[in-house]
Structure formats: C-alpha cells, structure tokens
Structure 1
Amino acid sequence: METEIPLMLRSRESQFEDRFTFHSSRMRMKKVTKEELAAMDRDSDRCALELSDARVDVMGYACLVAIMSMGLGYHRESEKRLHQVTVDNDAPTPIVSSAGALVEGLKALGAKKVSILTPYMKPLTQLVVDYIQNEGIEVHDALSLEIPDNLEVGRQNPLAPAEHVKRLDTRGVDAVVLSACVQMPSFQSVQQVEDQLGLPVTTAAISTVYQMLNKLDLKREVANAGALLSGKY
C-alpha cells in the first residue's frame, strides 16, 4: 500500500489539482500467520495515535488479512476504535481499512459473485473467502499463491497477476479481485486483465484509494485503475 496508493494518487495530478503527502507508521509482521497478524492488529492503535499527531486528513489501515483474520465483520470494530484513538488525541480522522474498502468497493460495483487472487497460504485465503461471503458476496473461486514471507509478497512482479489470473475460474462472476492483499503489487496488471476479461477488475489497494477519495470528498477517478476508479462510481 505504501507504494501503490502513492502511485495512484500521484498519477491523478495530471488530471486534477489535488496534491497529496504520504505518512506511515508501521505495525510489525514478518511471516503471514494468524498469530503474527493478531499481534500486528494489536499494534494498530499505536500507529493511529502516531499518525494523528501529523493531523492527516484520512488514514488507511493497510493489511486486509490482519482484519479479516480477527473475525467476521471486524473491520467495523477496528475502524470505529481507531477513529476514537484520533478523537482522543484531538485530531478526529476518518479511518479506511483495506478490508472494509474491498467489501464496499465490490458492493459499489454491484458485484454479487466474484473470484479472487491472494498471495496467502490456503487457510488464510479461506478466512478471506468466509469474510467476503459473510458480507453477502459469493466467492466463486479463490487462487492462493501460498507465499508465507511478507517481504517476498511485496517483491512480486506487478505484472505477475495478469498471468496468475489465467488459473482462476472467472466464469459467471461479476468482478475479479486481482489482489486481495495490499502488499502484493498488482496495479500494472489491472487494466490489462479488465480489458481481456471484459469484467470489472479491482484490488484491495484500488478499493482503498476509492474509499480514501470518498472520505476526502474528491473525484474517485484514477486512469488505468479499473472500473471502480473509472469515474463511473
């Protein structure tokens, strides 16, 4: 998210007058396991407090699976709690979680049935599937790349998802989630895959940008970022 969100928002600067600065506070995680994800989530309050010192206009919680592994619907609890942290620091700030953003982005697209690509081990992917289905969206197929090392996930070629998606069953779906993980680079594949499939294609990072722009009351449009950021929604 620290690479793809600035990439998308910077790319808007040729079309819009909006200008952005980017600030981050990091929660620690090395291996993408349920135990490390839970420890990471516990650290999110500290991060929200630190960032609220900068009086930012919106905050994005970057790890989708950290939220989804904490229980069905947990993004609502997390967003509410982290917002309260900023309120208590006299810096009330809208909070966007990538987990909540993906769900809301799919709903904005009107998607009832989707197929998803993840870098996770299969048990974590199943948690993501269960979470999305609990929000009323059927997951038709899910492909797990099974990459346990978090740094290795971030080092994936951003064009690789365009190849991986060929192994994903997309028949009869309303949309494709090309990366359900904000850590896995995918932006450069999105428009290519959308054009090939003739279906809306989004990612956790794209959905997060969509919600951030919404919170900032800015036009939700980024070139070559798929249907969700086409300006139609």
Structure 2
Amino acid sequence: MKRFRIGQIVPSSNITMETEIPALLRARELVSPERFTFHSSRMRMKHVTAEELKAMDRDSDRCALELSDARVDVMGYACLVAIMAMGHGYHRQSQERLHQATVDNGNPAPVVTSAGALVEGIKAIRAKKIALVAPYMKPLTELVVDYIRNEGIEVSVWRALEISDNLAVAAHDPMKLPGIVRAMDTSDVDAIVLSACVQMPSLAAVPEAEAITRKPVLTAAIATTWSLLKALNLDTRVPGGGTLLSGAY
C-alpha cells in the first residue's frame, strides 16, 4: 500500500478544497490500494476581487516552499480565478515557477493548478463547447470565460452568481446548481462546468446535473483531482467523479 502526501495551496477563506478533493480521493481508496494524506498552506484572501486575488497570488511562492518542507508528492494550487486574473496562459507560468521553488528547496514536487486542470480536463473529454457556472461577479466571470476561450474552448453559455464574499461562496447550496443549469440553454454544448471554482461546493449535484443535461459534467474540484492523480501517474478512476474521473481519461 503506497501513501501519497497531497499539498494544497489554499486561499485563507477557502473551506471547500479541503473537503471535496479529500472526499474524491477517499472514494478512490474504496477501489484502489493507494492512500492519501492532505497538507495545506494558506494565502490571505477574503473577497473575490481582482486586487485581493493579485495580492494573494504573490503568497503562492511562500506556500510552495512551506509544503516542500513537508516533502509532499504533489501540490495543487486551489484558486482558479486567481490564476486566470493574471493573464492568458498564466497557469503554465505559475506551475513552472512554483515547481522550481520546490526544486530549489531540495524536495521537488509537481505542481498543478485548478485553472490549468479545468482547461486540460475539458480538452481530455474532447469537449469543444461548454456551458459554465461560476460564483464570481460578472467582470471576473467574463475574465474566466475569456481565459478559457483563449485556450481554444468555446464557452457557449455562462452564468455568474455574483457572490463576492468567499465564505458566502462556500455556503452556496450545491443542490441549487442543477436548477441553474436547467434554466440555461445547453442544447449545443458538449459538457457542463458545474462549478468553475474550487470554493463553490458542487460534488453532490453532479449526478443530477448529468441526468438533467445528459452530458458530461465536471467541476474545478473534479478536474483538480484528475490532474493531481495524473501528476502522480495513478489511475484516474474515482467513484462519483463523473465522466472525467471514470478512468477513461
């Protein structure tokens, strides 16, 4: 039985990354022999605004260094919009810089970001057009949509829930999400991004959303889990993880 340490670079007000990703990997433990422990370092952020996000991102280097001290096997940067607010393609620059910090510290570990994971997860299931739900204010949601479009993925329809307080995002009832998706025109999309945010809970709603749309449904947390497993060269089959975590990708 091999054990892996999962490092998480987390906004200080995020309380969902440390519940949904462990929940998915605990579900994986029911069907696979590997075991996981979870270790976090936090970046200060209370409100999801461009100013706070940029200030928070500067703390990510410190977080990577701290987690490297714990010799984690992989790190996940758990704030999609913070990465996307820094400009097109920034997830690649962030991942490279934070990985180099672990190398320089003598404990190298791969780094994935929720932003990069979502983009790569959408591409992995060969979705060309998506529908997207995000908790952010409209300007930040438009920024996210533009970032994804720049990666060659069409966002046909999107919905901004306009919640600026990050703890209020975590308190949003996930079972409202299927109704939100039902009200959107998803007829021409290939997949649904039910939560483009690792802070907005969504796992419980994935089966219902898939039943309503009859299309693949993924979330930032599902994509991040998939990316973490791939970085560890592990099988990506996770019960309850939807299409992306079916093991086929």
Q: TM-score, normalised by structure 2?
A: 0.92
Task: Tell me whether 1:93 sits opposite 2:109 in the alignment.
Answer: yes
Tell me which residue corresponds to 2:129: 113
Secondary structure, aligned partner of 1:59? strand
In the alignment, the residues of structure 2 paired with residue 3 and residue 104 of structure 1 have an alpha-carbon distance, to the nearest angstrom, of: 22
Structure 1 or 2: more strand by fraction: 2
Percent of residue pairs identical: 64
> Residue type of the partner of 1:135?
E
> Residue type of the partner of 2:195?
S
Tell me which residue corresponds to 1:146: 162
Q: In angstroms, what is the RMSD of aligned CA positions?
A: 0.8
In the alignment, the residues of structure 1 paired with residue 130 and residue 47 of structure 2 have an alpha-carbon distance, to the nearest angstrom, of: 27
In the alignment, the residues of structure 2 paired with residue 57 and residue 168 of structure 1 have an alpha-carbon distance, to the nearest angstrom, of: 40
> Residue type of the partner of 2:97?
R
Secondary structure, aligned partner of 1:24? strand
CA offset digits 1:110-156 (Å, max 9, x no partner): 01100100000000000000000000000001100000100110112
CA offset digits 1:166-206 (Å, max 9, x no partner): 22221110100000000000001112211221111000110
> Residue type of the partner of 1:192?
E
Once the two structures are TM-superposed, the CA of residue 217 in structure 1 deviates from its matched residue by: 1.1
Tell me which residue corresponds to 1:197: 213
Task: Tell me whether 1:137 sits opposite 2:153 in the alignment.
Answer: yes
Task: Tell me whether 1:11 sits opposite 2:19 in the alignment.
Answer: no
Runs of 4+ with >3 A deviation = none
> Residue type of the partner of 2:26?
R
Unaligned runs of 5+ in 2: 1-16
Tell me which residue corresponds to 1:61: 77
Tell me which residue corresponds to 2:226: 210
Unaligned runs of 5+ in 1: none
| Number of residue-to-residue matches in the alignment | 233
1:35 corresponds, among 51, 54, 57, to 51
Once the two structures are TM-superposed, the CA of residue 2 in structure 1 deviates from its matched residue by: 1.2
Tell me which residue corresponds to 1:76: 92
